[in-house]
Amino acid sequence: MTAEFGIFFLVLTFVISSLGFFSTITSGNKKKFLTLIHHEKISLLLFFFTILSFFCLTYSFLISDFSLNVVAKNSNSQLPTIYKITGVWGNHEGSILLWLLVMTFFGFLFSNSKIPDQNLKIQTLSVHNSLIFLVCTFVIFTSNPFERSFPPPIEGSDLNPLLQDPGLIIHPPMLYLGYVGFSIVYSISLAVLMLKKKTNFIEILKPWVFMSWIFLTAGIGLGSWWAYYELGWGGFWFWDPVENASLLPWLTASALIHTIMISSKKNLLINWTLLLSIITFLLSLLGTFLVRSGVLVSVHAFASDPTRGIFILLMLIIVSFSGLFYFLRRTELYSSKHQIKLVSREGAISLNNIFLISLTFTILIGTIYPLVSSIFFKSKISVGAPFFNSILTPVMVPMIFGMIIGPFLRWGNDDLLKLLNRLKILVFLFLFSSILLWYVNFGGPVIAIIFFIFAAWIIIASLFELTKFMNFKPKLRINSLPAKYFSQSISHIGIGLIIIGATGSSILKIEKIQFQEIGEIIKINQYDVEFKGVKVVEGPNFLSQTGVFEVSKDDAHVINLKPEKRFYNANKQVTTEAAIYSTIFGDLYIAIGDKNSIKNSVSWTTRIWYNPFTIWIWLGVFSLVTGGLISFFRVIKKKK
Amino acid sequence: MKAKNKRLFTLLSLMIIFFLGCTILFKNLKNNLVFFFTPSEIINKPNITQNKIRVGGMVKKDSVVREVVVKEEKQIQKISFIITDFKEEISVFYSGILPDLFKEGQGVVVEGKLINNFSINAEKVLAKHDENYMPPELEFLNTSKKRN
């Protein structure tokens, strides 16, 4: 019965959201189809019914109702309860329902926020409810999670073991909160463009942009952390098409976060802010299309049918055409004759935008080129990681310089010589840190040292910015420090930390793959890794071969590491669980492979990595999120 | 310079930069493309010039051979197996660790350099991550399986 209730609530959502759709279509009419109170009620009801529907699905997973297709394919009665719940979004249908849930939740939040311009609020809600209508149609007609199969199987075929992991509990919802957050950003922007009168919307847009960016950053960070310890490949970023798909809206959103500052402070580049808002949501949708249509080869792809792809493509076309149509119609309303000087804060931010957009464009090309070529040239190709790495470096270098100099430039107009004069101490610190790093030399190629130096410069410059502010006010308390400086510096430091981590764990990594006999010691970096043996451990729904490794350094015991190879009972799948020992200087990473018996001796294939500075990546992501949060709360506080 | 000329100049220089950027981009892209072939395509089209290619098909049953070679006082595992698309076969040589989902009778994609027309030295072996999921490149396996 639960499933019937679930689909019933979904249909209610569908019917109610269609009101929003009609109201958007008829928004040109003088007489409004719905008033503000109607729209607010609609948003509340949509959220209410979607959450009920989502609960129905969760309940079906909890009681292992295998008559539902989705449950039968992605759950199992042996599965631990927590993974029964996360199994809800570990598949296509459930994850799209989650998407819908988040979307209605944000609509509900927006309907409860104070917006001075009533017309803008009405228009935004009606656009957003139309989006909900489109997504809801998609759920009901192409990916109904409540579809039954007859006769129901006795046992489910289990959740993909790779997804049975704590990282997967929060990674998809985080990412979705980010992706879907941009639907509100899009709705506001489109509503602004649809209104004929000029309105003040930047301050309304700001908190949503920050919030979505924070979730997207955290979501990508968590995903890459999961890939690092769960896939057992020892890396954190593989330029997989789906990783790229999440990076694209992140890049444009980062550009948006920077321009929205100019828009709010100087009332400039408002058109550009609007365009970026629209593009960011389009890229979020494109990401969904690439993942869910199964057109790309990727870790994230699910078995899928082509009608879904066509539907999302259609949605993409509707959303992009209406966005760009209104944008082109209304460009004059917000355009400004003011020219931006290159050597100024605005100039630096504009340059940052140009580089971020170029980077987005190139990654987009690299990601969809295989798809285009398979349609038009019938050739099956893939674009390798070297391509992305080769374009990242030349774009990163000017961006790093911008990040260092930009924050010190004055608004309006500035002079490079004067700037140099102001930053004498900083230049000295740069020289000093470069020489120091060159001398310390982590033993890698020159490029690694150069990147370390750049990262050090970013961090020093950001810290310097904070101390410089402290000079103005000798009696400084933390709460008197303007959050603006804080959030910017912390985020930039985050980028610096990520550069250090990425450089360390890609260029300087040490890899050792071997047959290791019991008792054999492998030396890696300063560690001695002794293989103690393998024991069989029984998990709730798997059998694990757990290797025991004793790690010591200078004859002193450090830690015992226990990497596993798990054999899942239900679908006979094998997964590798790496064991990691993290320190500030680097991670010791062990994965265990197959048993080999040759010539009376028994040995195991073991892979041992030393990944320098990997932990700095996660610290960097944390730092970025913290910076974002500070900005977010500042914006919210200011609004009240 | 007049305002109009200045604008034209900026526009032109922006366009030149854009086209230059695109040229570099596509050249770079072209150098990093990895083409995908089926075993039949490799054997029937003997003029594959690409440096690195991908070959996909099914791992032939009972074709996986593991042997250990001692090289520079280190034991190295050499693995060889045969990929088939039910018409032609390609032998694969690989030294490294096979992915968790590598199985005989399952779809696989390998990336590496061709030794000759019927064998390849693999640098990477990619197995799919989900039981039900079949990469679009290997879709032909489903259809040919049904036919057989």
> What's B128's domain CATH number?
2.40.50.140
Residues B22 and B93 in one domain: no
Q: Is the pLDDT of residue B145 over 50?
A: no
Q: Is the CB of residue A575 less than 8 Å away from at least one CB of chain B?
A: yes
Token pair belonging to B139: 């879709």
Q: State the residue range of the domain holding B128.
A: 35-147
Token digits of residue A37: 């109170």
Q: Which of A387, A573, A590 to mutate to test the interface with B (most CBs of B within 10 A)?
A: A387
What pLDDT, in 10s, does the model give residues A267-306? Answer: 888 999 999 999 999 999 988 777 766 666 554 555 456 6
Minimum distance, in Å, between the CA of residue A294 and any CA atom of chain B: 8
Supply A157's token pair. Answer: 């075929």
| Structure tokens given for A148 | 């039954």
Pairwise CA distance, residues A220 & A226, whole Å:
10
| Between A58 and A372, residue with greater pLDDT | A58
Cα–Cα distance, A326 to A473 (Å, whole number): 47
**Are residues B90 and B127 part of one domain?**
yes
Q: Is the pLDDT of residue A471 over 90?
A: no
Contact B29 A387 (CB under 8 A): yes
A284 touches A182 (CB < 8 A): yes
The answer on B58 and B27 residing in a single domain is no
Strand partners, A605: A515
Same domain flag for B28 and B39? no
- Decide if B116 touches A, using CB distance below 8 A: no
CA-to-CA distance for A231 and A575, rounded, in angstroms? 8
Any chain B CB within 8 A of the CB of A513? Answer: yes
Q: B9 and B65 share a domain?
A: no
Least confident interval from A13-22, A38-47, A563-572: A563-572
User: CA-to-CA distance for A114 and A116, rounded, in angstroms?
Assistant: 6
Q: What is the ipTM of this complex?
A: 0.79
Confidence of residue B109 (pLDDT cuts 50, 70, 90): confident
Alpha carbons A595 and A574: distance in angstroms, whole number: 14
Same domain, B54 and B120: yes
Is the pLDDT reported for residue A518 higher than 60? yes
Q: Give the three-class secondary structure for A338.
A: coil
Nearest-10 Cα torsion for A501, A502, A503, A505: 80
Q: Which two tokens stand for residue A173?
A: 């919802």
Cα B38 to the center of its chain, rounded Å = 10
Q: Write down the pLDDT at residue B66.
A: 81
- Residue to mutate among A382, A544, A571, with most B CBs inside 10 A, is A382
Q: For A330-352, what is the mean pLDDT?
A: 85
Q: Nearest Cβ partner of B21 from A162, A358, A374?
A: A358
Is residue A331 over pLDDT 50?
A: yes
User: How would you classify the pairing of strands A510-517 and A601-612?
Assistant: antiparallel
Instruction: Tell me which chain B residues have a C-beta less than 8 angstroms from the C-beta of A576.
Output: 100
Residue contact A596–B66, C-beta within 8 A: yes
pLDDT at residue A47, rounded to an integer: 96
Could you give the C-alpha distances from A43 to A130, A133, B72, in angstroms and in order?
11, 12, 70
Query: Model confidence at B137, in pLDDT bands (50, 70, 90)?
Result: low
pLDDT above 90 as % of chain B: 6
Tell me, what's the pLDDT at A610?
93
With contacts defined as CB-CB under 8 Å, which chain B residues touch A362? 25
Across residues A100-124, what is the average pLDDT? 93
pLDDT at A294: 61
Q: Would the CA dihedral through B108, B114, B116, B121 be positive or negative?
A: negative
Query: Quick one: A495 exposed, middle or buried, by C-beta within 10 A (0-12, 13-18, 19+)?
Result: buried
Average pLDDT, chain A: 87
pLDDT at residue A472 tops 60: no
In chain A, pLDDT over 70 holds for what percent of residues?
94
Q: How many CB pairs under 8 A join A and B?
A: 90
| C-alpha to C-alpha distance for B72 and A472, rounded to whole angstroms | 65
For residue A308, pLDDT beyond 70: yes
Cβ separation B136–A295 shorter than 8 A: yes
What percent of chain B lies above the pLDDT cut of 70? 76
Go through chain A and tell me how many residues it has. 640
Query: Residue A167: in which H helix or E strand, if any?
Result: helix A166-194
What integer pLDDT is reported at residue B148 of this predicted model? 38
pLDDT number for residue A615: 94
Highest mean pLDDT of the ranges A75-84, A175-184, A433-442, A475-484: A175-184
State whether residue A299 is helix, strand or coil: coil
pLDDT exceeds cutoff 70 at A415: yes
| Per-residue H/E/C for A364-395 | HHHHHHHHHHHHHCCCCEEECHHHHHHHHHHH
- B141 exposed, middle or buried (CB, 10 Å; 0-12, 13-18, 19+)? buried
**Same domain, residue pair B72 and B5:** no
pLDDT tens by residue, A130-183: 999 999 999 999 889 998 888 888 888 778 787 888 877 888 889 989 999 999
Look at residue A547 in the predicted model and tell me its pLDDT.
92
Q: Which of B74, B102, B130, B137 to mutate to test the interface with A (most CBs of A within 10 A)?
A: B130
List phi, psi (to 5°) of A509: -70, 145
Residue B28 shares a structural domain with residue B61: no
Contact yes or no for A89/A172 (Cβ under 8 A)? yes
Those residues with Cβ within 8 angstroms of residue A151's Cβ, 6 or more apart along the chain or in another chain: none
Give the largest Cα separation in chain B, rounded. Answer: 78
Q: Please write the tens of the pLDDT for every residue from B60-79.
A: 888 888 877 766 666 677 88
CB contact under 8 A, A387 and B28: yes
Token representation of residue A512: 């050792």
The domain tally of chain B equals 2
- Please tell me the distance from the alpha carbon of residue A422 to that of residue A412, in angstroms, as a whole number: 17
Are residues B85 and B121 located together in one domain of the fold? yes
Tell me how far apart the terminal alpha carbons of chain A are, to the nearest angstrom: 46
Can you give the residue ranges of every domain in chain A? 1-164, 395-503, 510-612
B interface test, pick of A165, A297, A362 with most B CB neighbours within 10 Å: A297
Provide mean pLDDT across the span A55-75: 91
Helices (H) and strands (E) in chain A, counts: 19, 11
Task: Give the tens place of pLDDT for each residue, A554-612.
Answer: 889 999 999 998 888 877 778 888 899 999 999 999 998 878 766 667 788 888 999 99
Residue B68 shares a structural domain with residue B113 = yes
CATH 2.60.98 fits A510-612, yes or no: yes
Nearest residue in chain A measured CA to CA from B53? A381
Mean pLDDT of A236-264: 90
CA–CA separation, A184 and A43 (whole Å): 13
Choose the closest CB to B29 out of A294, A299, A366. A366
Residues B2 and B42 in one domain: no
For B19-54, what is each residue's pLDDT tens digit? Answer: 998 888 888 888 888 888 888 888 887 666 667 888
Q: Is A569 on the interface with B (CB under 8 A)?
A: no
Residue A223, amino acid: G
Percent of chain A with pLDDT over 90: 45
> Do A258 and A204 form a contact (C-beta atoms < 8 A)?
no
Q: Do B32 and A571 touch (CB under 8 A)?
A: no
Same structural domain, B8 and B42: no
| Residue at A175: amino acid letter | L
| Average pLDDT of the segment spanning A498-517 | 88
